[in-house]
Amino acid sequence: MITKPYENNKINLFKTSEEQKLMKDAIKKVESQFGKEYPIIIDGKEIYNAEKIKSTNPSKPSEVVGLVSKSNKDQANKAIEAAYKNFALWSKESQAKRSAILLRAAEIMRQRKMELSATMVVEIGKNWVEADADVAEAIDFLEYYAREGLRYSQETPLMKINGEDNHQFYIPLGVGVVIPPWNFPVAITTGMTSAALVTGNTVVLKPASDTPVLGYKIFEVFKESGLPDGVLNFVPGSGGEVGDTLVDHPLTRFISFTGSMETGMRIYERASKVNPGQKWLKRVVAEMGGKDYIIVDEDADLESAANGIVQGAFGFQGQKCSACSRAIIDAKVYDEMIELIKERTEKIKVVDTREFPIPEVHYYNMGPVSSNFSKEKIMSYIQIGKKEGRLITGGKTIDNNGGYFIQPTVFADIKPLSKLEQEEIFGPVLSIIKSESFEKSIEIANDTVYGLTGSVYTRDRKKLNLAVDELLTGNLYLNRGCTGALVGVHPFGGFNLSGTDSKAGGPDYLLLFLQAKVYSEKV
């Protein structure tokens, strides 16, 4: 029985020497396990394949964080079949037990917070504070969805009529495929997986290929929390072989995906096909990225706006679907804002994130981007930016142990509808766009195919109201940055091609993994 009200976990800023030592020790422990092999898990059985996914440290790619067995098409099929077999029992398990397992998983994560954070530091290059925040969010998801599961297990009140007794309640969907991203490898993976499990579904988890070790560690947490064998199956593998097989399988009931727009649209299209032996229309829950903005009005608090822009653009190297990719600035304060942004950006230090992130006013260290593929893609956009706008600062790679380091980069004088203003870069690149009026700023903000997050800085209440009415953005923030959604506080999801507006971490989210059943009896 849950007696304590839900509250968000505090984020560790590592201000004390004791906290810093704990993280340093955790990093050393994770380093001592470099090169370890991790299995596929199907129906509770460990499987080691000869072919491996080699997970490396993006700060120093010669370091192998782990070797994770790479599953094949046949194993993907077996994982779905195992999940289908185990659905019958898990779907009938009491909601109290399912919620209790999530709460135990949350407690295990609290105990292993340093280890999970340290693994994130070396496997994907988050700095200490960002890694700690990622694990804190994962714990929040477990705590919040455990409570939400209990709420949804209650019967839905219906209108009464004479002569009939009518009831509505929710039942799970079936087998779900969870395909999480690498950028929040603990938080989003845990959130997507736990939402499906707590509602009585069984899951096949295909972790992101850049963070498969963290994917395995999350599987371990659920296993140790008491989850029965085969309810959660772990199948690392390629999107083209394993991902497509999981999505296409006729026993797959739903797909929960977070990643790029292109991959999300491909999954949505494949899932729409009814394959032989399939008895349902598959449900897709998709979060597909953004081209997010911060609007700065002429009467805004410019210091605060500059802080919000730089934090939003360069937190975790700009590798967030909520990252501030566009700063849309009123012409009257345009030049002043460029200087404030430049000054703050040039204070950011780009380093191996195993170094302690010493804050300077509002800034932390920036690490590497996720992979050489990402590095090359981002640099190609920087070359485009040099043609489309004016380079203010950055624009180069940094040579450090072969790591995938890129300077935080700012371009000014970017035009609406240009490539840099339209396309998601997913890296430390900020485009500054001049606007002649607040109304024009809203028009520019709305001019992409995305609609995930955005922020508006102005002291004018009428303009704030106009922004709320006119900006087609799933998560809109007023006089604060455009990143940092909290579970239970800021239900998260976007409009248009940012996805299906799932509102993760909110009161509607679990409904996406349930279906309503009604029965009526004559009395």
- The residues, any chain, with a CB within 8 Å of residue 37's CB and separated by 6 or more, are 48, 52, 66, 67, 68, 69
Say how many C-beta atoms besides its own lie within 10 A of residue 471's C-beta.
Answer: 19
Using 50, 70 and 90 to split pLDDT, how confident is the model at 361? very low
Alpha-carbon distance of 270 to 261, in angstroms, equals 14
**How confident is the model at residue 365, as a pLDDT?**
82
**Residue holding tokens 């120093």?**
60
- Rounded to an integer, the average pLDDT of 331-339 is 98
Tokens of 195: 């939402």
β-bridge mates for residue 67, sequence order: 37, 54
pLDDT of residue 283: 98
| Residue that is written with structure tokens 């490898």 in the block | 185
Q: Which of 167-181, 224-238, 350-364, 488-502 has the lowest mean pLDDT?
A: 350-364
Mean pLDDT taken over the chain: 96
**Looking at the DSSP assignment, which residues form a beta bridge with residue 285?**
256
Do 357 and 364 form a contact (C-beta atoms < 8 A)? yes
> Distance (Å, rounded) from C-alpha 381 to C-alpha 379?
5
Q: Mutual orientation of helices 17-32 and 113-123 as an angle, nearest 10°?
A: 60
What does the pLDDT average to over 237-253? 96
Tell me how far apart the alpha carbons of residues 471 and 147 are, in angstroms, rounded to a whole number.
32
* pLDDT of 208 higher than 80: yes
HEC profile of 362-375: CECCECCCCCHHHH
d(CA 288, CA 462): 32
Which of 44-58, 253-267, 294-308, 356-370 has the least mean pLDDT?
Answer: 356-370
Name which of 181, 234, 216, 222 is nearest 198 in CA terms. Answer: 222
DSSP-derived 3-state class of residue 343:
helix
Q: What is the pLDDT of residue 362?
A: 40
Token look-up 């909520």 returns: 322
Q: How confident is the model at residue 1 (pLDDT cuts 50, 70, 90)?
A: low
Tell me if 341 sits within 8 A of 392, measured CB to CB. yes
Q: Between 365 and 227, whose confidence is greater?
A: 227
Please, what sign has the CA dihedral across residues 180, 182, 185, 187? negative
Phi and psi dihedrals of 169, rounded to 5?
Answer: -145, 170
Q: Say whether 321 is catalytic.
A: yes
- Rounded Cα distance, 332 and 348, in Å: 27
384 CB-contact burial (10 Å; exposed 0-12 / middle 13-18 / buried 19+):
middle
Terminal C-alpha separation, the chain: 35
State the sign of the Cα–Cα–Cα–Cα dihedral 112, 116, 122, 125.
negative
Per-residue pLDDT tens for 481-511?
A: 999 999 999 999 999 999 999 999 999 999 9
DSSP 8-class letter at 70? P
User: In angstroms, rounded to a whole number, what is the distance separating the alpha carbons of residues 291 and 474?
Assistant: 12
Please state the domain extents for the chain. 20-288+502-520, 292-486
CA distance 2 to 146: 9
* pLDDT surpasses 60 at 98: yes
Report the candidate in 257, 213, 219, 16 with the shortest Cα–Cα distance to residue 121.
Answer: 213
| Residue 192 pLDDT level (bands cut at 50, 70, 90) | very high
Closest among 294, 252, 296, 289 to 270, alpha carbons compared: 252
Q: Which CATH number fits domain 20-288+502-520: 3.30.365.10, 3.40.50.970, 3.40.50.2300, 3.40.605.10?
A: 3.40.605.10
Quote the pTM value: 0.97
Other Cβ atoms within 10 Å of 516 Cβ, number: 10
Q: Is CATH 3.40.309.10 the right assignment for the domain spanning 292-486?
A: yes
Query: Cα–Cα distance between 182 and 191 in angstroms, integer?
Result: 13
Three-state SS for 210-241 is CCHHHHHHHHHHHHHCCCCECCEEECCCCHHH
Q: Coil, strand, or helix at residue 119? A: helix
Q: How far is CA 312 from CA 240, 352, 427, in A?
A: 32, 20, 11
Can you give the pLDDT at residue 191?
Answer: 98
Pairing of strands 292-296, 232-234: unpaired
Name the active-site residue from 115, 143, 148, 321: 321
- The Cα–Cα gap between 229 and 209 comes to 23
Q: What pLDDT digit, counting tens, does each position of 270-299 carry?
A: 999 999 999 999 999 999 999 999 999 999
Let me know if 224 is a catalytic residue: no
Confidence bin at 2 (pLDDT 50/70/90)? confident
Res. 56: pLDDT tops 60: yes
- Phi-psi domain of 515 (left: phi exceeds 0; alpha: psi -120 through 50; beta: other): beta
- Mean of the pLDDT values across residues 13-26? 94
Q: Could you write out the DSSP letters of every residue in 416-442?
A: TTSHHHHS---SSEEEEEEESSHHHHH
Annotated catalytic residue, options 123, 287, 421, 424 = 287
Distance CA 498, CA 396 (A): 29
Tokens of 74: 């046949």
Helix (H, G, I), strand (E, B) or coil at 200: coil
State residue 4's pLDDT score.
87
